[in-house]
Amino acid sequence: MLLHLLNRSAASSHVYRDALRAMAEDDCLLLTEDGVYSALMPLAEHFSAVYGRLFALREDLASRGLEGRCAEQIVIVDMEGFVQLTEDADRVVSWF
């Protein structure tokens, strides 16, 4: 299992499409930095193929005033959760 990191908003960059196409069936995706803008509907719908394996970083949501407005399909993790995700993955691939 690979963990993919995405730090771009789906509203401004198409890189999320390549990231999604590169993901295997059990890979996970963590939204960080400006990537967390995609954690809200309707942008989150772009990630429907990976619901259940889709995470967003709490501190990046909080600093942007978005905590509590996340789509319910997204699992929010803190920094420790981020580290845990990297422990569980064989490798980590960053998309930027």
Q: Where are the beta strands (DSSP E) in the chain?
A: 2-6, 28-31, 54-57, 75-77, 91-95
Beta carbon nearer to other proteins, 41 or 63 = 63
**Cβ atoms of 15 and 42 closer than 8 Å:** no
Beta carbon nearer to other proteins, 11 or 41 = 11
Alpha helices in 27-67 (DSSP H): 58-63
By CB under 8 A, is residue 88 in contact with other proteins? Answer: no
Retrieve residue 3's tokens: 């963990």
Q: Please list every residue from 23 through 62 that binds other proteins, using CB under 8 A.
A: 23-25, 27, 32-34, 59
Point out which residues bind other proteins (CB under 8 A). 2, 5, 7, 14-15, 18, 21-25, 27, 32-34, 59, 79-80, 82-84, 86-87, 90-96
